[in-house]
Chain A
Amino acid sequence: MPRRILLGDECVALGAVHAGVSSAYAYPGTPATEILEYLLEFRRRHGRPFAAWCANEKTAMEEALGACFVGRRALVSMKHVGLNVAADPFVNAALVGTHGGLVVAVADDPGMHSSQNEQDSRFYADFARVLCLEPATQQEAYDMTAAAFDLSERFAVPVMLRLVTRLAHSRTAIEVAAEPRPENPVRKALRPQSWILLPSHARRQWHDLLGRQQEMVAWSEDCRWNRLTLNPDDRELGVITTGLARNYFEENARELASRPSHLHIGAYPLPLALIRRLAGQVKRLLVFEEGYPLVERLLRGLLDTPLPILGKLTGEVPLEGELTPDNVRPALGLPARPLTNPGDLALPTRPPQLCQGCSHGHMYHALKQALAGQAQSTVTADIGCYTLGALPPYDAIESCVCMGASVGMAKGASEAGFRPAVAVIGDSTFLHSGLTPLLDAVHEDADMTLIILDNETTAMTGGQESIAPSARLKDIVLGLGVDPGHLHVVEVLPRRVPQIAELLRGEFAHPGLSVVIAVRECLETARRRRKLVEVKPS
């Protein structure tokens, strides 16, 4: 079999291609971005499969669902919080009985390297009553993606592929198939009514889905990713690992006096019989899972005998952050590794920051000048590079909650009696989730000022093209009904900072909705674009 060096994310992308995927959709989000980036490049070179960025994760999920609706295989990928945005189509996609395989690749970010929370997507799979596969290695990421399409068609449900940062962004060599499977032909569902979730149909579909749960568990019991290794000579401890936790357990296992019986879970729903067999052999269970204590919680209701279960809920394993080869040691009874060099010099931290000369910085200077002298003010903000405006030297924003929240929160604060209320959002985030709250603000002519920082790209995730070009942004805002007299487009240049501040001051005084679009191309994107032009044959 051919070998390739790939990032975990790229293994998912190539696994999908080799499984005959026809369509792939996504919105950029760390650590999932590289899945679609790989597929876009693949499409550029080979013409297939169809791959495209979308306005947000919900539209991506729905577009993927449309491909499955006509019998094709589709992949949708996102970061964990993106699944919150796409939760509505995801949960309902479990009911329609899809005949084209739908794989939902979700990359969680335990430890919050680049995220607002560390929610565990496996709960969504459990909630929607669908299969979930959790790779522990890049090879598994590739193999499981390919298998996920077959499973999706076999059980007529979307299949979640749950990744985490350390797998998504780790590179290694894997073996890949020599020949890709052909794509599915276009074919509508045999029972089209299953897609019409009217209550009468939905009740039947729900009943069917519940009926398939036993088959899914039966599959899980002897699937190759759930492996039970019993040690009849050691009846003390049984270890359960999920996902990457297996690697950290293995990294330490050779130091144990005796290797405990071990069940690794890579596929859900939980393999109940395997768990009971393990529990029947040992006096205590220890659970290592990357993310929330999902298995640990479920176990407490599953076992026939009351067995001590140790893990995140009982404090043996850290409840917060990601697992490491070091923080699993205490639970295994291993001492911390001796540190020869603890590092005695107090080092200043080096947090991420806006690039030198970034227009967001100029805009924050203008904003602070404009707000100077106000007895009070508030600036809600959003998710992107400009969130770094929360840090010194800017200290310019006061909130970052979820995509688009800046707009609705400024409206809510204003209507609760606070002024001036200012919202700051990037162009890509605005197009992702800022349009609908702006409609609300237009409807009430809310007393607030919205600043759209238009750097003409999705900068934080590596400069993906925004779903609408910068030139159309003004018309989009006007189309939502914003008063043209209080809509301004300004070019952000350092020398114009005082004028921009003056303009903002005027709009803060206006007792209604104002929108300022501050335009300046991202430095990084511009640099990359120049580079592309340079390498083009002269």
Chain B
Amino acid sequence: MKIDIMLAGVGGQGVLSLAALIGRAAVAEGLHVKQSEVHGMAQRGGAVLSHLRLSDQVIASDLIPLGTADLILSMEPLESLRYLAYLSPTATVVTSVDPFINIPDYPPKEEILARLRRLPRAVLVEAERLAREAGDVLSRNTVMVGAAAHLLPLRRESFDGAIRQTFEAKGERALEMNFAAFEAGWRVSA
């Protein structure tokens, strides 16, 4: 069993926190995990990509080969389209529909969403709205993990554990909000 995930977004959107949540859940199940991150200049408001690989076998490459990824999980709709070449024939794109516009030539949102809807398997998530409803717009990363959770061979309890591990130190309220955010995301694809 192996699951290769391309995590996408814009520097500052918390792409690495997505990776950390899924990574923790996978480690809890005894899987091998490799997670390649982007630091430094590339983080400054630019396109950010992280390769996350889960497997029950030893993982050789830190990078996912082209044409083989199982999932693109993106915090931003334009960014989700940047890495389609990595997808395998059976892969899914799970993306937030909320554009992050910090470039002058950002295409019309409808054009991007229409392109996404033409993909064989795409899950469009209103992450910001769901996060706000869960109590904090900053929990949109957790919403996105919830929305992708069905596609990952990991148990719900493992995600709950990962959320607890990640947000426990921030207090009971933060923890509850993130559980709610995960649940909201989970229901999108349920």
B79 to chain A, nearest CB (A): 8
For A, the interface residue count at a CB cutoff of 8 angstroms equals 48
Q: Is the CB of B37 within 8 A of A169?
A: yes
Contact residues, B73-95 vs A (CB, 8 A): 78-79, 81-85, 87-89
List residues of chain A with CB within 8 A of the CB of B85: 339, 341-343
User: What's the Cα separation between A171 and B39 when bound, in Å?
Assistant: 13
Partner of A460, one of B10, B41, B46, B107: B41
Q: Is the CB of B23 within 8 A of A171?
A: yes
Q: Is the CB of B43 within 8 A of A352?
A: yes
Q: How large is the interface on B (under 10, 10 to 19, 20 to 34, 35 or more residues)?
A: 35 or more
Partner of B89, one of A7, A169, A170, A340: A340
Binds B, one of A53-61, A247-255, A279-287, A477-485: A247-255
The contact string, 1 if C-beta is below 8 Å from chain A, for chain B 12-27, is: 0000000100011001
Q: Is the CB of B60 within 8 A of A113?
A: no
User: What's the Cα separation between A113 and B11 when bound, in Å?
Assistant: 14
Partner of A244, one of B11, B27, B62: B62
Which of B33, B63, B89: most chain A CB closer than 10 A? B63
Q: Does A355 contact B (CB under 8 A)?
A: yes
List residues of chain A with CB within 8 A of the CB of B42: 113-114, 352
Q: Is the CB of A460 within 8 A of B63?
A: no
The contact string, 1 if C-beta is below 8 Å from chain B, for chain A 156-200, is: 000000000011011111000000000000000000000000000
List residues of chain B with CB within 8 A of the CB of A347: 78, 81-82, 107
Partner of A166, one of B27, B41, B63: B63
B14 to chain A, nearest CB (A): 14
Partner of A30, one of B40, B61, B68, B103: B40
Q: Does A401 contact B (CB under 8 A)?
A: no
Which of B41, B78, B81, B89: most chain A CB closer than 10 A? B41
Q: Does B161 contact A (CB under 8 A)?
A: no
Q: Is the CB of A350 within 8 A of B47?
A: yes
User: What's the Cα separation between A483 and B37 when bound, in Å?
Assistant: 47
Q: Is the CB of A325 within 8 A of B65?
A: yes
B172 to chain A, nearest CB (A): 15
List residues of chain B with CB within 8 A of the CB of A355: 44-45
Contact residues, A1-31 vs B (CB, 8 A): 5, 7, 30-31
Partner of B37, one of A114, A170, A250, A336: A170
User: What's the Cα separation between A224 and B33 when bound, in Å?
Assistant: 24
Q: Is the CB of B105 within 8 A of A348?
A: yes
List residues of chain B with CB within 8 A of the CB of A114: 39-42
Contact residues, A280-323 vs B (CB, 8 A): none
Contact residues, A244-271 vs B (CB, 8 A): 244, 246-248, 250-251
Q: Is the CB of A7 within 8 A of B32?
A: no
Q: Name the residue on B nearest A253 (C-beta).
A: B60
Q: Is the CB of B41 within 8 A of A353?
A: no
User: What's the Cα separation between A247 and B62 when bound, in Å?
Assistant: 8
Q: Name the residue on A nearest B116 (C-beta).
A: A345
Q: Is the CB of A31 within 8 A of B40?
A: yes
Q: Does A337 contact B (CB under 8 A)?
A: yes
B180 to chain A, nearest CB (A): 22
Task: Known pairs A5-B23, A167-B62, A347-B81; list 10 more (Cβ under 8 Å).
Answer: A170-B36, A170-B62, A171-B19, A172-B32, A173-B32, A246-B60, A247-B62, A347-B78, A350-B45, A354-B45
Pull 13 A–B residue pairs with CB atoms less than 8 Å apart, ordered by A: A30-B41, A34-B39, A114-B41, A166-B63, A170-B36, A171-B19, A171-B23, A247-B62, A325-B61, A338-B67, A348-B78, A349-B47, A385-B44
Q: A-side interface residues toward B, CB under 8 Å?
A: 5, 7, 30-31, 33-34, 113-114, 166-167, 169-173, 244, 246-248, 250-251, 324-326, 336-343, 345, 347-356, 385, 388, 460-462
7 closest cross-chain pairs (CB), A and B: A30-B40, A114-B40, A352-B46, A343-B84, A352-B44, A337-B67, A250-B60
